[in-house]
Amino acid sequence: MSIEELLQQMEDYRSRREQRDHRPEWLRRFVAEAANLFEPLSNVGRVGYDCQADERGWIVCMYLGTTEIIGGPKDGQIEHAGFVIDIKHLMGMFQQVHRFEWYSLSNDNDDRFNEATRSLLTLHGEILDAGFVQLELLACPPKYVAPAIRKDLTRDNTLSAESE
C-alpha cells in the first residue's frame, strides 16, 4: 500500500467516525477541554470517554486509559495510569454546578470493573447556552474498554492502540 493510499484510508476512517458522532458541537468542545485537564502522574496516557443522552441532558463518563505491556517479565500486564485533574478549572467549565460528589464503591456485584473498589468524582450542572451535563470522572476505566496504549518492550517503544 502506498503512502497516498494509507493517507486516504486514514482520512476516510476519520470522516466515517465523525459522521457517527451525534454529539452536539458544544459537547464535543466540553469533552475536549475536560480531556486536556487530565495530567498523567507518570509516562503518558490517553483519555477515554462515553457520552449518553438522557431525559435531563448528557451523561459524560471520562477516564484515563490503561497500558498493556508486551514482552519482558511483565508481558500481558495491564497498568493503570495515575493522574491529577485541576478541579477548580473543571468546575469553571460549568455555568452552574448543582452537585459535586465523590464516590468510593465496592465492585463486588459489578462485572464492569476489575478492581475491588472504584472511585469516581461526579459534577452535575449547567453548561452556558447548552444544557445539563452530569460529568463522571472514573479513577480506572471499565474493564470492557481495551488498553489505550501498548508498550512493546521487545522493541522498546510505545504504540497507540488506535494505530494498530
Tens-digit pLDDT profile for residues 28-77? 999 999 999 999 887 777 899 999 999 999 999 999 887 778 888 878 77
Q: Which tens digits make up the pLDDT trace of 78-131?
A: 777 788 999 999 999 999 999 999 988 766 666 655 555 568 899 999 998 888
Secondary structure (DSSP) of 66-98: PEEEESSTTTT-EEPPPEE--HHHHHHTSSEEE
Rounded to two decimals, the pTM is 0.71
Chain center to CA of 111: 19
The residue that leads in pLDDT, 149 or 62, is: 62
7: pLDDT confidence band, cut at 50, 70 and 90? Answer: confident
List the chain domain ranges: 3-163
Q: What is the pLDDT of residue 127?
A: 93
Q: How far apart are the C-alpha atoms of 37 and 117, rounded to whole Å?
A: 24
Q: How far apart are the C-alpha atoms of 58 and 80, rounded to whole Å?
A: 27
